[in-house]
Amino acid sequence: MTSIALRSYTRTVTFFATALAALSLSFASVASAQDAELRVTEMTTARGYEAARGAVDATTSFHRADGRVFVVIRIENPSGAEQDITVAFERAEGTPATGARGGVTLHVPASRRYRTVARTSTSRAPGRWRAVVRNAEGEVLQTVEFDIAE
């Protein structure tokens, strides 16, 4: 090979190697962003909660005399990074809005799996309600509906 052809070949190989490396990094960042997303694997409403057992007397129907509605939330956290979620209690009309504010913020520690609980009072107006779990960006991760009756 002549020196001109060798330099041209080297530049071409370098260009393609750089492009391939950039493409690999791009795919890796997309994969890691998807892996970093929290996923709610289970949401249960119940009349009680015990740390060792989880939901006690699971149900979706409550009476105002019950006192409290517990929502037990199991989370899968592929990145294992600390994150926050918000749990809001809303009327079950239409679809839950992305980015809605309000509710209680719960911290998800650096763990791949986590269980947490939110609660509300049954003194709310009778009707159909839902608990909505949102990530820190306000995106809806999961909902569960329940009824409160007189």
Q: pLDDT digits over 90-125, tens only?
A: 999 888 877 777 789 999 999 999 999 999 999 999
For residue 27, is pLDDT > 70?
A: no
pLDDT in tens, 44-76: 999 999 998 899 999 999 999 999 999 999 999
pLDDT of residue 94: 83
Q: What share of the chain is helix, strand, coil (3-state, %, to 5)?
A: 25, 45, 30
pLDDT of residue 11: 72
pLDDT of residue 86: 95
- For the domain spanning 37-149, the CATH number is 2.70.50.60
Q: Pull the structure tokens for residue 131.
A: 């608990």
Q: What is the rounded distance in angstroms from the CA atom of residue 133 to the CA atom of residue 37? A: 13
**Three-class SS state of 30:** helix
Across the range 36-47, mean pLDDT stands at 92
Hey, how many other C-beta atoms are within 10 angstroms of the C-beta on 107? 10
**pLDDT tier, 31 (very low <50, low <70, confident <90, very high otherwise):** very low
Tell me which residue has tokens 């509710």: 103
pLDDT of residue 26: 47
pLDDT of residue 29: 41
> Are 142 and 134 within 8 A, CB to CB?
no
Tell me which residue has tokens 């809806």: 140
pTM: 0.73
Q: In the chain, what are the domain boundaries?
A: 1-35, 37-149
Q: What is the rounded distance in angstroms from the CA atom of residue 24 to the CA atom of residue 31? A: 11
Tell me which residue has tokens 């990094």: 25
For residue 33, is pLDDT > 70?
A: no
Q: What are phi and psi of 82, to 5 degrees?
A: -65, 140
Q: What is the mean pLDDT of the chain?
A: 84
**Residues facing residue 42 across a β-bridge:** 74
What percentage of the chain exceeds 90 in pLDDT?
63
Q: Pull the structure tokens for residue 66.
A: 């019950």
Q: What are phi and psi of 52, to 5 degrees?
A: -75, -35
